[in-house]
A and B are shown apart, each in its own frame.
Chain A
Amino acid sequence: MTISTAPASEPVAADAPPAPGRRRAHRPGQAREWWLGAALVLPALALAVLFKLVPLARGVLTSFESSSGFGGSEFAGADNYTRMFDDPMVLTSFRNALLVVATLPVWIVVPLVLALLIHQRSPGWKFFRAVYFVPYTIAPIVVGIMFRQILAPDGPLNALLRGVGLQPLAIEWLNGRHSALFSLVAVALWSFFGLGVMTYLAGLATIPEETLEAAYLDGAGFWRRLFSVVVPMLRPTVAYWSVLCASGVLIWLFPLIYALTQGGPGDATMLPEYLVFLTTFQFLDRGYGSAIGIALFVFVAVLSIFSVRHMFTEGTRKPR
């Protein structure tokens, strides 16, 4: 059941099993442990290779071909890549992606503040904890369609703003050159902040009461305790949540663009992930779509290289 039906590549073949007898007497059963190890990592490796690395390699190959419409394809060298640099749509999409990435601090701080507020255990804190997670459970595509109504020019948000006398703020949220991307990110934040709050709360729960008690007895005030005790002890959690956000924020936006703006108005909310989809499946320009996809991969990889390094050390470090 655990072995996938996929043709098993021999992924760890580079590490030949230690030939018996050639080495000094090693721990008995080490060769068997190698075979066992290979068997246990096989399902995961097969999945990763077949559904991520192979498509990635094929994507690279396709990106060097000119293949559009339903016809065949031919080798086109780096044409697709040079074309990208002259394509205002591509350039805009990556500039928009950078703007989205620039909002990452907000993604990291807002849930932290909310988690700290809940952690004060004021009356009803369990209720708030439960409610804040609800948006995350709703599918982004559903969230997108929902917010089409909420953000409509005559929708409830603008009605509220007019009601409290903030008439000038009641704008066409999804139709402005600048407001559209802002709205999109805000909706995404609405949809994901609960996961961040939950993550931080779990981290806060690992801080021993005694530590805080001791700081309190030493005369440390609320803010002092917050910045000298709580925040430093929360660093692994902050790192974990940053990992998730940095590698996820662009991906999370796709269904929202799909439901809310379709990249518009004009190219105001065009992001690389949506452009890949559009180029490949709407304009049927597979070579060019793949090239943009590879560019997106490089973009995300650069963004999350630190995350991966952090994860690697976390996962291989022995506890002290």
Chain B
Amino acid sequence: MNARHSARIGRYLLTFALVVVAVAAIYPLLFTVVSSLKTQAGFAEDPLGLPAGITLDNYLEAFRRMNMPRLLLNSLITTVGGLVLSVLAALLVAYAVTKLRFRGRKIVFLLIIVTLTIPSQAIIYPLYQTVLDLGMSGEYQGLILAYAAFGLPLGTYQLAGYFQQVPDELIEAARVDGAGHLTILFRLLAPIATPALAALAIFNFVWMWNDLLLPLVIMGGSDSKTLMVGVSLLSGQYDVSVPLVSAGLIVALLPVLVIYLVFQRQLVSGALAGSGK
């Protein structure tokens, strides 16, 4: 009887702890949504409470000031480009180093994952120089290639770990059946690694869409700058009110949030693909 009692108390405590963390996780977002719906005067009067009346003027103003459609387009192109290129390059190299027999494959693998230790901040100026020398400063391809390069080490690691689990006999059998290497990679291995690929795609989408330093330096103030650069510039303007910035923030975070909510199941199933052994 007593044991059952304490077990129930344990349950309550557990749920209570989960609720507290959930509130902490979601409150800042709600606060920003509420702020974005207030007028400037309304916010000054009562910054913390619910708004007396709801206004969408802040969203209209944020769209007007930031040239939002263009920023969204820029972010979409560079993110999707970087994501596709990064995952594709990782797929090819992961296959080569795990399933082909050629000398130097371990060195190649090491070389790729070792670049994980080079943070963008440490090499930001020479990276900018290099992009400039390639004539890609302010161009989509400059940022896309940089994104692809920075997403490469973790992607290669995850996919290699996954491919390593696939028995070589399976590959041999497919070879005997006359399948070429690319067929094996894209028709046999990639489907097996779908959870890893999905998780990798979402992970890359999130960080590339959300990154600030690379687009800030590579795109600068050009028309091709991404949404995050636009948001950081908006918040630096002196005449900008909190409700207006809040509206800009909501627009900036909405795409990733929507993608997350849509693909939540795939993410959960593949979150650890590659190292969940």
Q: Which residues of A contact B (CB under 8 A)?
A: 1-2, 4-6, 11-12, 14-15, 18, 27, 30, 33-34, 36-38, 40-41, 43-45, 47-48, 50-59, 62, 114, 117-118, 120, 122-125, 127-143, 145-147, 149-150, 154-156, 159, 190, 194, 198-199, 201-203, 205-206, 236-237, 239-240, 244, 247, 250-251, 254-255, 258-259, 272-274, 276-277, 280-281, 286, 289-290, 293-294, 296-297, 300-301, 304-305, 307-308, 311-312, 314-319
Main secondary structure of the interface of A (DSSP, over half): helix
Find residues 201-247 in chain B having any chain A CB closer than 8 Å to their own CB. Answer: 206, 209-213, 217, 228, 231-232, 235, 242, 245-246
Main secondary structure of the interface of B (DSSP, over half): helix
Pairwise interchain contact A297-B117, C-beta atoms closer than 8 A: yes
The minimal Cβ–Cβ distance linking B185 to chain A, given in whole angstroms, is 8
Q: Which residues of B contact A (CB under 8 A)?
A: 11, 14-15, 17-18, 21-22, 24-29, 31-32, 35, 47-48, 85, 88-90, 92-93, 95-98, 100-127, 129-130, 134, 141, 145-146, 148-150, 152-154, 156-157, 160-161, 164-165, 167, 181, 206, 209-213, 217, 228, 231-232, 235, 242, 245-246, 249, 252-253, 256-257, 259-261, 264, 267-273, 275-277
Most buried by A among B28, B109, B146: B28
Pairwise interchain contact A47-B148, C-beta atoms closer than 8 A: yes
The minimal Cβ–Cβ distance linking A47 to chain B, given in whole angstroms, is 4
Q: Which of A122, A244, A315 contacts B109 (CB 8 A)?
A: A315
Pairwise interchain contact A311-B157, C-beta atoms closer than 8 A: yes
A47 to B129 CA separation, bound complex (whole angstroms): 16
Pairwise interchain contact B150-A140, C-beta atoms closer than 8 A: no
The minimal Cβ–Cβ distance linking A154 to chain B, given in whole angstroms, is 7
Q: Which 8 A-B pairs have the closest CB atoms?
A: A202-B272, A139-B210, A273-B121, A51-B149, A15-B104, A58-B126, A44-B93, A202-B271
A38 to B117 CA separation, bound complex (whole angstroms): 24
Pairwise interchain contact B25-A190, C-beta atoms closer than 8 A: yes
What A residues does B228 contact at CB under 8 A?
Answer: 139, 141-142
A7 to B35 CA separation, bound complex (whole angstroms): 50
A62 to B127 CA separation, bound complex (whole angstroms): 12
A320 to B252 CA separation, bound complex (whole angstroms): 46
A258 to B124 CA separation, bound complex (whole angstroms): 15
Q: Which of B11, B117, B129, B252 contacts A308 (CB 8 A)?
A: B117
The minimal Cβ–Cβ distance linking A158 to chain B, given in whole angstroms, is 10
A264 to B85 CA separation, bound complex (whole angstroms): 38
14 A-B pairs in the complex with CB atoms less than 8 angstroms apart: A34-B102, A44-B156, A48-B153, A50-B134, A52-B150, A140-B212, A141-B232, A142-B231, A149-B47, A149-B242, A190-B28, A198-B267, A273-B121, A276-B122
The minimal Cβ–Cβ distance linking B132 to chain A, given in whole angstroms, is 11
Q: Which of A1, A117, A277 contacts B124 (CB 8 A)?
A: A277
What A residues does B271 contact at CB under 8 A?
Answer: 198-199, 201-202
What A residues does B152 contact at CB under 8 A?
Answer: 44, 47-48
The minimal Cβ–Cβ distance linking B210 to chain A, given in whole angstroms, is 3
Pairwise interchain contact B145-A293, C-beta atoms closer than 8 A: no
Pairwise interchain contact B93-A300, C-beta atoms closer than 8 A: no
The minimal Cβ–Cβ distance linking B51 to chain A, given in whole angstroms, is 15
Query: Which of chain A's residues has its CB closest to B181's CB?
Result: A36
The minimal Cβ–Cβ distance linking B23 to chain A, given in whole angstroms, is 9
Pairwise interchain contact A50-B113, C-beta atoms closer than 8 A: no
Pairwise interchain contact B119-A296, C-beta atoms closer than 8 A: yes
Q: Which of B18, B97, B103, B118 contacts A41 (CB 8 A)?
A: B97
Pairwise interchain contact A159-B92, C-beta atoms closer than 8 A: no
The minimal Cβ–Cβ distance linking B35 to chain A, given in whole angstroms, is 7
Q: Which of B17, B123, B211 contacts A52 (CB 8 A)?
A: B123
Pairwise interchain contact B21-A308, C-beta atoms closer than 8 A: no
Given A6-B134, A296-B122; A134-B26 close (CB under 8 Å): yes
What A residues does B127 contact at CB under 8 A?
Answer: 51, 55
What B residues does A296 contact at CB under 8 A?
Answer: 119, 121-122
What A residues does B245 contact at CB under 8 A?
Answer: 145
What B residues does A36 contact at CB under 8 A?
Answer: 96, 100, 102, 181
What B residues does A314 contact at CB under 8 A?
Answer: 157, 161, 164, 275
The minimal Cβ–Cβ distance linking B273 to chain A, given in whole angstroms, is 8
Pairwise interchain contact A131-B117, C-beta atoms closer than 8 A: no
A146 to B232 CA separation, bound complex (whole angstroms): 12
What B residues does A117 contact at CB under 8 A?
Answer: 14, 17-18
A50 to B110 CA separation, bound complex (whole angstroms): 16
